[in-house]
Amino acid sequence: MSQIHEECGVFGIFAPERQDVASTAYYALFALQHRGQESAGIVVNDDGVFASYKDEGLVNDVFTPDALARLGKGNIAIGHVRYSTTGCGGRENAQPIVVNHLKGNMALAHNGNLVNSFELRSELESEGSIFHTTTDTEVISYIITKERVRSHSIEEAVLGAMDRLRGAYSLVVMSPSKLIAARDPHGFHPLCFGMREDGAYIVASESCALDAIGAKTVRELEPGEMIVFTKDGMRSDRSHCGGQKSLCVFEYLYIARPDSVIEGRSVHEARKQAGRFLAERYKIAADVVVGVPDSGLDAAYGYAEASGIPYAIGFIKNKYIGRTFIAPGQAAREDRVRIKLNVLRSAIEGKRVVLVDDSIVRGTTCGRIVKLLRDAGATEVHMLSSAPAFLNPCYYGTDIDSRDNLIACRHTVEEIAAIIGADSLGFLPLEKVALLTGGDGSGFCTACFDGRYPTEEPERGNKFRFERPISENPKFRGR
């Protein structure tokens, strides 16, 4: 029952010997599936020869046994799962992107959004570049390729590109002999690396992907850091470090998997802390606390723990319907909610319920969920959001591109409660959001809540030149 989406997840492996790196990438992408459900792709490097396959769909649908076998063996591979924010969906926008240039070939996968993508793309087009996609990633690939033609190495080219890119980017780049990982100077989205017992280096958006393939996490890349993995080991370049750190706090609230650890801090514990903060602020007389699967569960448990109100499993989620499930027509949207979530009536009937969800964007989905509880016999439903109210668009990779569809921009808290059919409504206090991980509250981006952007804002008209705004996007309608 997701309401918003993050753009994607990236993965890379550099193995000391030729092996089945495609299968390793497959299992890692499976672990990162929550970061993108529109398309998936893998590129395998076997002694400088690139084999690539990507398509729309979930990882296990795209990569059949035959598709994996065709990728063959190699010692380097990168992979990607995508949900489109900049750029529409479609196979042509799937990643990784493979580029053949004057000095060889390169493959690239990217997580995030650039704020100067329009300017860079316009410049490239004026020089004769022809684009085949509507993504920021193709812009990045062109910039790196231009730098590569006049530089001595691929890592020098990536560093040169980083001088020009503005906004959010966590990159994995593959050349015939190297794997490169790079993170923007603000560190908007996580990127970590680790090692396996066989000596393979692993890079991934989240530590859960390393766990899935038996690798041990070494650490996060620092904001602005680039790491190069070769047969001789790894080396780091921190020439772009030192900027204002601005990790997207929504990684902890919603995007990341609860079993991931980001910068040494447990996502699960951060969400529980959000629930505890809600319990401090909203003292509700209720019989049970219920979380909306999946990312509302940890916060609900934290609320129950702090408030003393019993925690209950209120919903059974159909795990066999992915986010790509499409209802047959507008009138069937409520049926879609019922198919994906069913209320455990024995836990709800005749009880006052505290309902905890990760966020409220348009209010439509949570309104349907409140109705499910009412229909199951709940006498009261008090809705709590483990995120503050969304008041601003995000330019760094989360699918909120305008204020037009944000319910909190048009209504008071009391009005929203009435619209969704709840007896009361509460949001996580803004002053608490940066304290979720036990630190001093610094180093996070909270612009979607408070409008304090770490970078310049792109012009609205420019942002939508190559894509439809969210209000015209059928994937978002009704949420």
Q: What span, in angstroms and rounded, lies between the C-alpha atoms of 7 and 83?
A: 5
CB 226 within 8 A of CB 193: no
Which amino acid type is present at position 159?
L
3-state secondary structure 179-230: EEEEECCCCCCCCEEEECCCCCEEEECCHHHHHHCCCEEEEECCCCCEEEEE
CB 308 within 8 A of CB 331: no
pLDDT classification of 328: cutoffs 50, 70, 90:
very low
CB 35 within 8 A of CB 82: no
Residue 326's pLDDT is 36
Q: What span, in angstroms and rounded, lies between the C-alpha atoms of 409 and 338?
A: 28
Count H helices and E strands in the chain, helices first: 17, 23
CB 58 within 8 A of CB 33: yes
Identify which of 140, 387, 360, 384 has the alpha carbon closest to the alpha carbon of residue 248: 387
Distance between terminal CA atoms of the chain? 9
Q: What span, in angstroms and rounded, lies between the C-alpha atoms of 230 and 235?
A: 9
Catalytic residue, candidates 8, 248, 394, 445:
8
pLDDT tens digits, residue range 79-138? 999 976 544 556 778 999 999 998 999 999 999 999 999 999 999 999 988 898 888 999
Q: What span, in angstroms and rounded, lies between the C-alpha atoms of 110 and 94?
A: 11
CB 79 within 8 A of CB 41: yes
Find the farthest-apart pair of alpha carbons in the chain and give their distance in angstroms, rounded: 71
Superfamily the domain 8-246 falls into: Aminohydrolase, N-terminal nucleophile (Ntn) domain (3.60.20.10)
pLDDT tens digits, residue range 191-244? 999 999 999 999 999 999 999 999 999 999 999 999 999 999 999 999 999 989
Reading across the β-sheet that carries 49-56, which strands appear in turn? 49-56, 39-46, 74-82, 8-19, 201-204, 192-195, 216-220
Residue 84's pLDDT is 60
User: Residue 459: is its pLDDT beyond 90?
Assistant: no
Question: What are the backbone dihedrals phi and psi of residue 252, each rounded to the nearest 5 degrees, phi first?
Answer: -75, -40
**What are the structure tokens assigned to 31, written together?**
């672990």
**What are the structure tokens assigned to 235, written together?**
């080396």
Using alpha carbons only, give the angle 364, 365, 371 rounded to the nearest 5 degrees: 95
Report helix, strand or coil for 133: coil
pLDDT tens digits, residue range 139-198? 999 999 999 999 999 999 999 999 999 999 999 999 999 999 999 999 999 999 999 999
Which residues 6+ apart lie within 8 Å of 440 measured at CB? none
**What are the structure tokens assigned to 47, written together?**
């002694």
Q: What span, in angstroms and rounded, lies between the C-alpha atoms of 51 and 136?
A: 23
Q: What span, in angstroms and rounded, lies between the C-alpha atoms of 49 and 188?
A: 33
User: Residue 319: is its pLDDT beyond 90?
Assistant: no
Mean pLDDT of the chain: 89
Rounded CA Rg of the chain: 22
The yes-or-no answer on residue 8 being catalytic is yes
pLDDT tens digits, residue range 368-413? 999 999 999 999 999 999 999 999 999 998 877 778 889 999 999 9
**What are the structure tokens assigned to 124, written together?**
């490239």
Q: What span, in angstroms and rounded, lies between the C-alpha atoms of 72 and 44?
A: 8
Q: What span, in angstroms and rounded, lies between the C-alpha atoms of 464 and 467?
A: 5
In 83-155, beta strands by DSSP E: 97-101, 104-111
Residue 260's CB: how many other CB atoms inside 10 A?
27
Site of tokens 């084999």? 51
pLDDT classification of 332: cutoffs 50, 70, 90:
very low
Domain extents in the chain: 8-246, 270-441
pTM for the model stands at 0.89
**What are the structure tokens assigned to 274, written together?**
């959000």
CATH class belonging to 270-441:
alpha beta
pLDDT tens digits, residue range 50-84? 999 999 999 999 999 999 999 999 999 999 999 76
Q: What span, in angstroms and rounded, lies between the C-alpha atoms of 273 and 306?
A: 9
User: Residue 475: is its pLDDT beyond 70?
Assistant: no
3-state secondary structure 375-426: HCCCCEEEEEECCCCCCCCCCCCECCCCCCCCHHHCCCHHHHHHHHCCCEEE
Site of tokens 């190559």? 466
